[in-house]
Amino acid sequence: MFHLFQSLSRFHISVSNLHLCKLCGASCFTLIVRVLCQCILLCFLCLVMSPCFPFCCYSLVYDCQRLWGAFEQAYVNKDPCNIPVQAYDPLIAAAPFKPQCNKMMFWSKTKVVVHGFTEKRKDCFVTLEDTVLGYALNGLTWCGKKGSNGTFTTACPRNCENNPVDSFWIRASAAYADVACGDVTAMLSGSTTTPFDPTSTFAKVEVTRFKAPKVRSLNVVMVIQKNAKSNCKNASLQKLKKALHTGITYSCKDVSRIQECGSKPQIACKTCW
C-alpha cells in the first residue's frame, strides 16, 4: 500500500476518492483519479491488490485500456521463459519515451547511488527508472502462464534468459537509448575492477544506440567511494571510447562528492562534477 501512495505522490496524481469495497468476495480499492493517471502503474497495482478488480483508472494522457493491453499481450498465456524482447514493442509504441536532451542519465553498477541522486536532483538528470514506464515497473515482478489469462507476481522465473521482467528492461533500455540526445551522462562504479562491463545492459544495449550528431557527447561520472578499485584511467573505458559512434566526444571525471551535490540544490547541475 505504501508503494501505491508513494507512486501517486511521485506523479502528482490527485485522488478524489479512495475507499474499500467488496467485490468478488475480496477486498479491493476503487481509485477515482481527477487529474493525471499514470495508468499502467495504477492498473498494475490494482491487479496486484485484487485480481478480480477491473480497470481502475481514467487517464487524460493515455488510453488506459490500450496501454494495459499492450503490456499484457507481451506475457499473458505464454511460457514465462520464452518472452522475447520484441514482445514489448507494442507497449513501447503505446507509451514512447520522450527525448530529454542534456538530462538523460545512464548507469551501470551504480543503481543505489544514481537513483539516490536523481531523486533529489530531478532538475539535473533523468534515468530510465524516472520515466513513466520505468518508475511504474521498477522493482516489480510479473509473468503469465501457458493456458492462463492471468497475471502472476509470485513464482515467476528469473533464471531463464527470456523471462518477462528481463526482456522488458532490455527493450525499455534500448528505447530509452534510442532517444538520447545532446550531452549524455553515464554514472559508472569505481568500486569494481571493470566499470565498463561488456556483459552489462549499458554496454550491450545502450551505448551502441547513441548516434551522432543527435548525441554530441558521453560524459562518464566515475563514482569514487571508499576503497575504490578503479578510476577514469581504467582499461575497460578504452573499450567504451571505441564503442562510441563516430562524432561523439568522450570525457570521464572521477567524482567523490555525489551525495554532497545531491543534498545541496543550490549547487548548479553543471558544477556537480
* CB contact set of 7 (below 8 Å; sequence gap of 6+): 38, 41, 42, 45, 135, 136
Q: What is the mean pLDDT of residues 55-60?
A: 39
Residue 42 has a pLDDT of 53
**Strand order across the beta sheet in which 105-108 lies:** 105-108, 182-189, 215-223, 249-255
- The residues carrying an active-site annotation are 101, 181
Residue in the structure block whose three cell numbers are 468478488: 24
- pLDDT category at 137 given cuts 50, 70, 90 is confident
For residue 27, pLDDT over 90 is answered with no
118, containing H or E segment: helix 111-120
Domain boundaries, the chain: 2-69, 105-266
Query: Three-state SS for 33?
Result: strand
Q: What is the mean pLDDT of residues 187-210?
A: 98
Whole-structure pTM value: 0.78
Mean of per-residue pLDDT scores for the chain: 80
pLDDT at 216: 98
Q: What is the pLDDT of residues 89-105, one digit of tens each?
A: 999 998 899 999 999 99
Residue 79 banded pLDDT, cuts 50, 70, 90: very high
Q: What end-to-end distance do the CA atoms of the chain give, in Å?
A: 38
pLDDT at 11 over 60: no
| CATH no. for 105-266 | 3.40.50.720
